[in-house]
């Protein structure tokens, strides 16, 4: 009879500021220790056994979600230069195929890169940078094959179809943010960023095609360990920008893309607490900044004299509007803003502030994401729109006329939007703040407290989780679930103050906001504490883990994805990637006040003997953002301390990192496990097999005892 895994206890003493903590599972940091993989494998085996009775449900869920995919599909072509670029998928294949056609969409297809071929024989495959040279003859792309987010850069000759002999290792790229690779306009020069030992992008190099990368010139070295170094090219292809980014401060340099051998010039020196981001338009930089403007304002400066002392105000600070981003086109200035927690797009001309148009969005909760829009001369803005009930739609918005043109809408097979409803409601936090929530459910839902409900949140780094459409979610909604997003403090939903009041010494507001959202859903009859589950990943994993240690009675089930749970220990160790950069987000444990505050909520440090909800915890063995040992340690300590018979499951993906499986079908299988866990815990009674296993647990069994 299978018993649950129990990790060996090896007490490790940590003393800070007069406090002594005993960490019985600190040893899990040592991947070379055979007990580490033994424990992780035992947990995976246990999950397979204990969830065995849900296999048919998992298969059903997977089949449902796969059926909603248009397996053979294509993105909307995007014109760049002479070519139309797009990515397409084929039935049965995990990854996209990147293609183009010259001149028109009727021209013969040219395959630039088939990721399925790159992934052959590999369990993980991520393409980071994917950028074609200005002359259209070369492709620079980068590849990560283990999920560690460290990429190797390759250059392909698109005329001959062969690779250049040189390749560059240890380069930065990201599926989340910047590519880290840009071409100069001569189509012979590449700029790229490399990583330091802590996997921080920190050095900018220039490479000439056909030369040895060992001879590449170092252009810039970001020595401050609290800063990341990113690069990008302006929309008009005039400049290469560097962006030196810390949590509270930014700095930019620029270089003419026509003069790749030239010297970088400083836009404006970094000033503690001042953030800015610039776009270029006809000899001027348009700059979004928080300098004496909490919600940011728009400034302008000439390229010849770009320092902050020369900035001129274009759009003043507004108390009720957060200015996120500026986009420049030949004839249009586009600003991405946020009002009342919702994305707004403001379009104007450059000659007068009176010619302003806001795009009108039709629903109370929605998501808008801008596309790359590579054509500087266009009058059309392309973005994607969705809501919890409206499938992802690619929109061409005609900036002069206000015409909204739907180019593509990804409607799942058999989907009927009229059967669902989305709402924007508010919960009241302990300090009286109104916390927005976006919810979606079937129209015939009864508010009798009996509906299984999944509450999702994040609440860190100022990131906003907008209410988008997810076809996978239909498998829950069609089984009577309510899905809710808590737009809690720590995000920037309601402005920069909303972020500031949910970080560092205000971090607990994120947790109490989320708890208030859960309580409101119960109070309003959507669900009960026996039907309520919460979900969060990464910093959102910290959120749900802190909530379950604060209020374990409030939830029936918790899914912690790659959860950041060992806050004090991780933030005390600058050898761990991202640590020093994030002291301005969480606090620096070297400061006693920060240490004591973090210790008061750190989930790992606040596990106590009590009953906890059912839990599914995940980790990625190659995760550079949240090391595998944090979820593993959390699971081990919970097993040691908890007094209930509720499920505690830990799943480690040995072949992936922070984002989980890279293939689209493999990803669906991971979602199917999550959903099967939720349905099993919230909608069905325990199976006879599970009851039998739980009754026969030998709690003293240790892995070291065999």
The model's pLDDT over 148-170, given as tens digits with 9 standing for 90+, comes to 999 999 999 999 999 999 999 99
Q: Say how far apart CA 99 and CA 110 lie, in whole Å.
A: 6
Would residue 369 count as lying in a domain?
no
151 and 18 within one domain: no
Which one of the listed residues 438, 538, 602, 662 is annotated catalytic? Answer: 538
Residue 352 placed within a domain? no
Provide the β-strand partners of residue 83: 80, 102
416 against 354, higher pLDDT: 416
Does the structure show a pLDDT above 90 at 575? no
| Summary count for the chain: helices (H), strands (E) | 13, 39
- Residue that finishes a domain, picked among 209, 238, 273: 273
Q: What are phi and psi of 408, to 5 degrees?
A: -160, 135
In a shared domain, residues 80 and 62: no
Contact 376, 330 (CB under 8 A): yes
Residues 6+ apart with CB under 8 A from 564: 538, 539, 541, 542, 570, 626, 630
pLDDT > 80? residue 693: no
What pTM was estimated for this model as a whole? 0.93
Specify whether 47 is located in the same domain as 94.
no
pLDDT band (50, 70, 90) for residue 353: low
pLDDT in tens, 625-660: 899 999 999 999 999 999 999 999 999 999 888 888
Q: Quick one: three-class SS letters along 44-91?
A: HHHHHHHCHHHHHHHHHHHHHHHHHCCCCEECCCEEECCEEEEEEECC
pLDDT at 243: 96
Q: Is residue 3 over pLDDT 80?
A: no
- Look at the chain and report how many structural domains it folds into: 3
* % pLDDT > 90, the chain: 90
- Within the chain, what is the greatest distance between any pair of CA atoms? 77
pLDDT greater than 90 at residue 694: no
Mean pLDDT over 547-557 rounds to 98
Q: Which of 486, 443, 204 minimizes the C-alpha distance to 341? A: 486
Question: In terms of domains, do 538 and 499 share one?
Answer: yes
Please state, in angstroms and as integers, the Cα–Cα distance from residue 344 to each residue in 87, 374, 408, 465, following that order. 28, 21, 21, 15
Shared domain for 218 and 170, answered yes or no, is yes
pLDDT at position 355: 85
Pairing of strands 83-89, 73-74: antiparallel
Asked if residue 176 has pLDDT above 60, the reply is no
Mean pLDDT of the chain: 93
In this predicted structure, the answer to whether residue 352 has a pLDDT above a threshold of 80 is: no
- Of the candidates 269, 303, 274, which has an alpha carbon nearest to the alpha carbon of residue 286? 303
651/47 Cα distance (integer angstroms) = 7
Dihedral of CA atoms 68, 72, 78, 80 in degrees, nearest 10, equals: 150
Region 173-182 average pLDDT: 73
Q: Give the model's pLDDT for residue 704.
A: 31
Answer yes or no: is 292 within a domain: no
| Same domain, residue pair 499 and 564 | yes
pLDDT per residue over 476-511, tens digit each?
999 999 999 999 999 999 999 999 999 999 999 999
Among residues 55, 84, 118, the one where a domain terminates is 118
Q: What is the CATH number of the domain that holds 464?
A: 3.40.50.1820
Has residue 705 got a pLDDT over 60?
Answer: no
Could you tell me if 235 and 330 are in contact, meaning their C-beta atoms sit under 8 angstroms apart?
Answer: no
Instruction: DSSP letter for 211, please.
Output: S
List, edge to edge, every strand of the sheet that includes 322-328.
Answer: 322-328, 333-339, 342-348, 356-358
- Within-domain flag for 287: no
pLDDT in tens, 299-321: 999 999 999 999 999 999 999 99
On whether both 646 and 545 belong to a single domain, the answer is: yes
> Which are the contacts of 97, defined by CB distance < 8 A and separation ≥ 6?
87, 88, 89, 90, 111, 113, 114, 115, 116
pLDDT at 85 over 50: yes
State the average pLDDT over residues 56-67. Answer: 97
Catalytic annotation on 123? no
Do residues 512 and 650 both lie within one domain?
yes
- Single out the catalytic residue among 324, 513, 605, 623: 623
Q: Measured between alpha carbons, how far is 88 from 73 in angstroms, rounded to an integer?
A: 5
Q: Are residues 698 and 560 in the same domain?
A: yes
| 538 assigned to active site | yes
The token pair at 386 is: 């969705």
Give the structural domain span for 87. Answer: 75-118
Split at pLDDT 50, 70, 90, the class of 178 is low
Q: Residue 174 pLDDT > 90, yes or no?
A: no
d(CA 581, CA 246): 6
Give the pLDDT confidence score for residue 2 in this predicted structure: 63
Reduced to 3 states (helix: H, G, I; strand: E, B; else coil), residue 502 is coil
Residues 213 and 202: beta-carbon distance below 8 Å: no
Residues 430, 570: one domain? yes
Q: What is the pLDDT of residue 578?
A: 73
- Is pLDDT at 699 greater than 50 in this prediction? no
pLDDT in tens, 513-533: 999 999 999 999 999 999 999
The predicted pLDDT at position 215 comes to 96
pLDDT-derived band at 354 (thresholds 50, 70, 90) equals low
Q: Of 242, 273, 304, which residue constitutes the final position of a domain?
A: 273
Q: Would 104 be classed as within a structural domain?
A: yes
User: Both 457 and 490 in a single domain?
Assistant: yes
Same domain, 114 and 195: no
Residue 386 lies in a domain: no
CA–chain centroid gap for 418, Å, is: 30
**pLDDT higher than 80, residue 344:** yes
| 256 lies in some domain | yes
For residue range 429-464, list pLDDT tens digits in order.
999 999 999 999 999 999 999 999 999 999 999 999
Q: Model confidence at 8, in pLDDT bands (50, 70, 90)?
A: very high
Is there a domain that residue 221 lies in? yes
């Amino acid at each position: 009879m299978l018993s649950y895994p129990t990790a060996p206890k090896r007490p490790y003493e940590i003393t800070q500021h007069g406090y002594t903590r005993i960490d019985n599972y600190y040893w899990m940091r040592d991947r070379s220790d055979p007990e580490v993989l033994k424990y992780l494998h035992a947990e995976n085996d246990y999950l397979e056994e204990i969830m065995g009775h849900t296999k048919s449900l998992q298969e059903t869920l997977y089949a449902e979600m796969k059926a909603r995919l248009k397996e053979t599909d294509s993105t909307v072509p995007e014109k760049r230069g002479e070519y139309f670029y797009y990515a397409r998928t084929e039935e049965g294949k995990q990854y996209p195929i990147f293609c183009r056609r010259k001149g028109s969409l009727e021209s013969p297809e040219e395959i630039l890169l088939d990721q399925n071929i790159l992934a052959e024989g590999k369990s993980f495959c991520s393409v980071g940078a994917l950028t074609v040279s200005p002359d259209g003859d070369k492709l620079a792309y980068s590849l990560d094959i283990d999920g560690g987010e460290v990429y190797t850069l390759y250059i392909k000759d698109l005329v001959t179809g062969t690779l250049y002999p040189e390749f560059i290792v240890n380069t930065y790229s990201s599926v989340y943010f910047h590519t880290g690779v840009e071409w100069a306009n001569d189509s012979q020069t590449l700029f790229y960023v490399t990583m330091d030992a802590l996997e921080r992008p920190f050095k900018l190099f220039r490479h000439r095609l056909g030369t040895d990368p060992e001879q590449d010139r170092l252009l810039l070295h970001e020595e401050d360990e609290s800063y990341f170094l990113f690069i990008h090219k302006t929309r008009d292809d005039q400049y290469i920008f560097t962006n030196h980014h810390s949590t509270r401060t930014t700095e930019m340099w620029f270089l003419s893309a026509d003069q790749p051998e030239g010297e970088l010039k400083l836009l404006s020196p970094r000033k503690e607490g001042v953030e800015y981001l610039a776009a270029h338009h006809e000899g001027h930089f348009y700059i979004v900044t928080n300098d004496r403007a909490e919600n940011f304002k728009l400034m302008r400066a000439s390229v010849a004299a770009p320092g902050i002392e020369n900035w001129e105000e274009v759009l003043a600070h507004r108390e009720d509007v957060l200015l996120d981003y500026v986009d420049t086109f030949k004839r249009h200035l586009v600003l991405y803003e946020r009002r009342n927690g919702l994305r707004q797009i403001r379009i104007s001309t450059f000659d007068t502030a009176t010619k302003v148009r806001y795009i009108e969005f039709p629903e109370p909760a929605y998501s808008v994401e801008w596309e790359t829009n590579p054509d500087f001369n266009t009058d059309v803005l392309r973005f994607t729109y969705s809501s919890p009930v409206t499938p992802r739609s690619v929109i061409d918005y005609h900036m002069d006329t206000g015409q909204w043109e739907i180019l593509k809408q990804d409607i799942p097979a058999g989907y009927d939007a009229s059967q669902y409803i989305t709402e924007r409601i508010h919960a009241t936090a302990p300090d009286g703040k109104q916390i927005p929530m976006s919810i979606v459910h079937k129209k015939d839902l009864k508010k009798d407290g009996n509906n299984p409900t999944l509450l999702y949140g994040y609440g860190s780094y100022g990131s906003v989780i907008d209410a988008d459409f997810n076809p996978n979610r239909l498998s829950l909604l069609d089984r009577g679930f309510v899905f809710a997003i808590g737009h809690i403090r720590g995000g920037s939903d309601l402005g920069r103050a909303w972020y500031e009041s949910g970080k560092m010494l205000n971090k607990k507001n994120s947790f109490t906001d989320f708890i208030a959202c859960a309580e409101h859903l119960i109070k309003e009859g959507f669900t009960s504490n026996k039907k309520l589950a919460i979900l969060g990943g990464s910093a959102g994993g910290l959120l749900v883990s802190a909530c379950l240690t604060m209020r374990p009675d409030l939830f029936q089930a918790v899914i912690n994805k790659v959860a950041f749970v060992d806050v004090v220990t991780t933030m005390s160790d600058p050898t761990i990637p991202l640590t020093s950069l994030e002291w301005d987000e969480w606090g620096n444990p070297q400061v006693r006040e920060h240490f004591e505050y973090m210790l008061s909520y750190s989930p790992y440090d606040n596990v106590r003997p009590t009953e906890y909800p059912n839990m599914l915890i995940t980790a990625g063995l190659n995760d550079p953002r949240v090391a595998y040992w944090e979820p593993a340690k959390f699971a081990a300590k919970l097993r040691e301390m908890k007094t209930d018979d509720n499920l505690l499951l830990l799943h480690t993906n040995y072949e992936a990192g922070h984002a989980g499986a890279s293939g689209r079908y493999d990803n669906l299988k991971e979602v199917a496990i999550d959903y099967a866990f939720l349905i099993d815990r919230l909608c069905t009674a325990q199976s006879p097999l599970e009851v039998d296993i739980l009754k026969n647990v030998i709690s003293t069994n240790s892995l070291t005892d065999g």
